[in-house]
Structure 1
Amino acid sequence: MANSPAPPSCRYFNLTYPLPFVAHVEINRPEKMNAFKEDMWNELPPLFAHLSTSPSTRAIILSGAGPKAFTAGLDVQEASQSSIFSPNNSDSALDGARTATKLRRHVDAFQACITAVETCEKPVIAAIHGWCLGLGVDISVCCDVRICAKDTVFGVKEVDIGIAADIGTLSRLPKVVRSGSWVKDVCLSARPFGAEEAEKVGFVSWVGRIGGKEEVVREALRWAELVAGKSPVAVQGTKEILNWSWNRSVEDGLRYTSVWNSAMLQSEDTREAMMSGITKKTPKFAKL
């Protein structure tokens, strides 16, 4: 992996390569149950921009450090000290429109940081354990695949701190689950829900049998290794077309696929993959 450009320095995220072409990003603030403060979410865009274009990365695992949580969400104690979340501490010289503009720009920037996970060219699998609350749900719905430990507890908790979730859950969760009743149930009530319920509604695609982080990361590694062994041209193209087609008609999706593949079918990967089926040999694909 040494021939790839160096990743950005991160204080709150660990980056390792446990397998060839498989990156493991670990949210690293276990003493606070990986709760996010502003410095943390600002580290996400440069990190995922690096992984998105790194030829040494073909699949990404996202997990939380420590035994207790994927992430407990926003660090409410720290956020409460910010003028953004405390109107009484805001600049009294600003009128309503200017205060709203300041708040909107802050929310837009925050949203863009979390969206960096979704826009990464490489597939991202969320390996979730323990607590996954608030911002944890925002981040996990940005991932391509979600799996969790048996003892995971989820919650869309924003109404409990007096706000509507504004970093992506309300926009993405209804598309991921496609049950309006269930989505409104958990978002309006802020009630916790467990791994079994999350699997039942399709929020996660796999649940561990034992519980704890080790099992779910092991399954994430299995999946990521499988994907990393495929043609990177094919994998990245598949993610791109799926994401592009998400809110568009079938006709639009077919047209985009046609244009995309008119370029990508010229890859040597296609011949390599076809020949591997004939020769029964494991294909080896060039970096992308």
Structure 2
Amino acid sequence: MLSTAVRVQLANGLQKDFARILQAGLTKRNCSSQTMDFKTLKVTRPRDFVVQVELNRPEKRNAMNTDFWREMRECFSQLAEDTDCRAVVLSGAGKIFTSGLDLTDNKDVKFEEFMSPDKDFARKAFQIRQAVIRLQESFNVIERCPKPVIAAVHSACVGGGIDMICACDIRYCSSDAWFSIKEVDIGLAADLGTLQRFPKVIGNDSLARELAYTARKMYADEAKDVGFVSRVFPDREKLIEGAIELASVIASKSPVAVQGTKVSLVYSRDHTVGEGLDQVMTWNQGMLQSEDVMKAVFGSMKKETPVFSKL
């Protein structure tokens, strides 16, 4: 039995989850009717209810600059509320997926100012803290988005790229892909999610530490063997096709069921089994009353593909 304090904490957490999902589902705002124009991201809709978000600075190896961090927050916040989006593919344009942090164009990361001896130590620390919080939010928003996000990685995925794809639900890659937790080579500990999510994703603490301590490259075959990616494709073209096809399959399912499943999986990762069971029980108290349940049951009985309403 869970204590009263734990149940209260669980209830408070569920209220926040319900509020976020209900806002995404019930809002009349339809982001698909709005133009999603960004400097560093290209947003397209290759299939019904499928959105592709492409890192779009190929001339800069898709390095993550000031505009990128802000636009990631804006893009995925909009997709969370977009009733015409049920699954997302996150890919990269050009020769590589991403080279990580752009050290030449990052107003949030002011290294010269942070190192200045003229500024009070505590005040510099608070300034750095706020900058890191903003950067962390740029990837946390992927995990909080109730729509499943599929990362499609080709060639290099370095530094911040690992932080980013660890926040995704599913990872595919091409056979030429490689991954490097690069932060240790520039004198810092990865602070945007890799050290928190990567060990849980692969389930191998020893390997996670080896990669984080050395920054060595992990190639596609090893990434597949340890469970970091679930499929490897021969080239980028086949990779994108496969990711979009998977997204289309997910998008054909009940959005109530899929989004509820994502919320429950994320919650259960960071809680006990008992707390996770209580969470999904409380969730389904409301969601089992959805029309989607009957549509799915009758569709199965009649051997017909059900069509689910927008949230």
TM-score for both structures, normalised by structure 1: 0.94
What whole-Å deviation, never above 9, does each CA across 1:104-141 have from its counterpart, x for those lacking one?
11111111112111111100000110110001101000
Q: Per-residue deviation at 1:189?
A: 0.3
| 2-structure distance, mates of 1:168, 1:62 | 17
CA separation of 1:86 and 1:263: change in aligned 2, threshold 3 A: same
Which residue pairs with 2:112 in the alignment? 86
| 1-structure distance, mates of 2:252, 2:109 | 48
**Residues 153-168 of structure 1 correspond to what in structure 2 (within 5 A)?**
153-168=178-193
**Residues 207-218 of structure 1 correspond to what in structure 2 (within 5 A)?**
207-208=232-233, 210-211=234-235, 213-218=236-241
**3-state DSSP of counterpart to 2:111:** coil
| Structure 2: runs of 5 or more not aligned | 1-29
What whole-Å deviation, never above 9, does each CA across 1:207-251 have from its counterpart, x for those lacking one?
11x22x111111101111110000000000000011111111111
| 2-structure distance, mates of 1:113, 1:83 | 14
Instruction: Please tell me whether residue 61 in structure 1 is matched to residue 84 in structure 2.
Output: no
Which residue pairs with 1:125 in the alignment? 150
| 1-structure distance, mates of 2:177, 2:262 | 27
Contact 2:66–2:105 under 8 Å retained in 1: no
1:73 counterpart letter in structure 2: G
Q: Per-residue deviation at 1:89?
A: 6.0
Which residue pairs with 1:219 in the alignment? 242
Q: Per-residue deviation at 1:88?
A: 7.1
Q: Per-residue deviation at 1:197?
A: 0.6
Which residue pairs with 2:18 in the alignment? none
1:76 to 97, 103, 112: 103
TM-score for both structures, normalised by structure 2: 0.87
**Residues 38-57 of structure 1 correspond to what in structure 2 (within 5 A)?**
38-57=66-85
Contact 1:159–1:190 under 8 Å retained in 2: yes
**3-state DSSP of counterpart to 2:42:** strand
**3-state DSSP of counterpart to 2:89:** strand
**3-state DSSP of counterpart to 1:160:** helix
Q: Per-residue deviation at 1:86?
A: 2.8
CA separation of 1:3 and 1:204: change in aligned 2, threshold 3 A: closer
**3-state DSSP of counterpart to 1:86:** helix
1:189 counterpart letter in structure 2: T
Q: Per-residue deviation at 1:177?
A: 1.1
**Residues 1-288 of structure 1 correspond to what in structure 2 (within 5 A)?**
4-66=32-94, 68-79=95-106, 84-86=110-112, 90=116, 92-208=117-233, 210-211=234-235, 213-288=236-311
Aligned CA RMSD, in angstroms, stands at: 1.6
Contact 1:7–1:47 under 8 Å retained in 2: no
Contact 1:22–1:59 under 8 Å retained in 2: yes
Contact 2:114–2:128 under 8 Å retained in 1: no
2:225 counterpart letter in structure 1: K
Q: Which protein is richer in helix relative to its size?
A: 2
1:181 counterpart letter in structure 2: S
Q: Per-residue deviation at 1:84?
A: 2.3
| 2-structure distance, mates of 1:166, 1:114 | 11
Identical-pair percentage = 43
What whole-Å deviation, never above 9, does each CA across 1:7-34 have from its counterpart, x for those lacking one?
5431111111100000000010000110
Q: Per-residue deviation at 1:85?
A: 2.0
CA separation of 1:146 and 1:257: change in aligned 2, threshold 3 A: same
Q: Per-residue deviation at 1:83?
A: 6.5
Q: How many residues get paired? A: 282
Q: Which runs of 4+ in 1 moved over 4 A?
A: none
**3-state DSSP of counterpart to 2:97:** strand
What whole-Å deviation, never above 9, does each CA across 1:16-68 have from its counterpart, x for those lacking one?
110000000001000011011111111011110111111100000000011x1
CA separation of 1:276 and 1:74: change in aligned 2, threshold 3 A: same
CA separation of 1:40 and 1:83: change in aligned 2, threshold 3 A: closer
Q: Per-residue deviation at 1:93?
A: 4.0
Q: Per-residue deviation at 1:69?
A: 1.1
